[in-house]
Amino acid sequence: MANTEHYVVIGNGVAGSEAARHLRQRDSDSRITMVSAGKLLSINRYELPKIFSSSADWRDFLLHPPEYYDEQKISVRRNTWVSHVDPTNKLLMLHHREPLSYSKLLIASGGGRYIPESLNQFKNLIAKFGTYEEAKSVCDALPRRGHMVMLGGDMIGLDLARSLVRNGYKVTVIGEDHLFWPHRVEAEQRQKFVAVLQDMGICVRTDVAITSIQRGDRNRPDRRIILDNNEVIDADVILSFCGLMPSLAFMAGAGVDIERGVLVNPQLRSTDKNIWAAGDVCQIWSPEENQYRFYYGWKNVKKMGRIAAFNMTGADESIDTVQNEKLVTTKSGEIDSPFWQYG
């Protein structure tokens, strides 16, 4: 018993779930605990836009059926926040002040929505779309053929936008700085892709800035947006899609190197020898670019979960830091992106 590893995985998204699966395959005697702030077992976030086109409930979004976790002897602590990591004593502190010890730790806590500073004062009027519960309440708030306004227009938002338009909703994207994030699109290419979005039925406004967001008047849509040219746009729901902010407040003071994410080498090991990181929370050293960078998208995140599990159990695998992440136009005249490929 003395040599039994206790692997603790913070986060049950794609990276955490994939890691737990491989940890169990490679170390059948170990203890595995997943800790997740979410209330549900792991769900497929990439499918959330489908909430507008079907009567599916949360069970249809589960990555694994509930019995999988019993069969695999993976303990899942749901609705449980990690508030601090103490690498010296190999201890996590949970929000309700319960300590949890680990022998090897994987940080797979992903990222939350980022709201630019200029819009932060309006954040209570901007809905969230990160969990099943949030997606469901957006779906309930949006009337049939209603109007969704998206601030930013990153690739997560544009995925939802195309799905909404296909289902008869109206979508307006306002913003320039985060449009197509995390793709880096040159100015001359950008105009071409904006035109493609317009042809797809998504209204894109890159020429204006937001002055204010207010509640709608009685008998009007729920929100009104005042632009810097005094134009007013009514919206039923407003969402912010301005990229992701890594969720790692619990790492403050832990002594592990952090920039915007947890810094790891291509083997996904952090500067602490017992801590690895995978998914949207980590910045991986890219020898080609001579800098730490994020690698987004289902394929990357899933692969990171696998590689972290392999290396936590004694292997020495590296993530491929050279990637082709180009935004493209399809033959049918829509935009497409490697970030949208999963399955």
Ligand X SMILES: Cc1cc2nc3c(=O)[nH]c(=O)nc-3n(C[C@H](O)[C@H](O)[C@H](O)COP(=O)(O)OP(=O)(O)OC[C@H]3O[C@@H](n4cnc5c(N)ncnc54)[C@H](O)[C@@H]3O)c2cc1C
* Residue (37 or 262) nearer to ligand X, CB: 37
* Residue (179 or 224) nearer to ligand X, CB: 179
Residue 10 pairs in a beta bridge with: 35, 107
* Residue (224 or 248) nearer to ligand X, CB: 248
- Structure tokens, 11: 């986060």
Query: Nearest distance from residue 296's CB to ligand X, in Å?
Result: 5
C-beta of residue 15 within 8 angstroms of C-beta of residue 45: no
For residue 319, which of 282, 268, 243, 261 has the smallest C-alpha distance?
Answer: 268
* Residue (237 or 281) nearer to ligand X, CB: 281
d(CA 328, CA 23): 36
φ, ψ for residue 12 (rounded to 5)?
-120, 35
- DSSP tag of 207: S
- Structure tokens, 216: 């709608």
For residue 207, which of 223, 193, 192, 191 has the smallest C-alpha distance?
Answer: 191
Query: Nearest distance from residue 84's CB to ligand X, in Å?
Result: 9
The one-letter code for the residue type at 331 is K
Query: Nearest distance from residue 237's CB to ligand X, in Å?
Result: 14
For residue 159, which of 133, 181, 141 has the smallest C-alpha distance?
Answer: 181
d(CA 99, CA 174): 44
* Residue (224 or 277) nearer to ligand X, CB: 277
Binding site for ligand X (CB under 6 A): 10-16, 35-38, 45-46, 48, 81-82, 108-111, 129-130, 156, 159, 247, 250, 279-281, 296-298, 301, 339-340
Query: Nearest distance from residue 289's CB to ligand X, in Å?
Result: 19
* Residue (112 or 146) nearer to ligand X, CB: 112
For residue 204, which of 252, 167, 244, 157 has the smallest C-alpha distance?
Answer: 157
Query: Nearest distance from residue 228's CB to ligand X, in Å?
Result: 29
Query: Nearest distance from residue 53's CB to ligand X, in Å?
Result: 14
How many CB atoms are located within 10 Å of the residue 154 CB?
A: 26
Query: Nearest distance from residue 253's CB to ligand X, in Å?
Result: 14
* Residue (138 or 224) nearer to ligand X, CB: 138
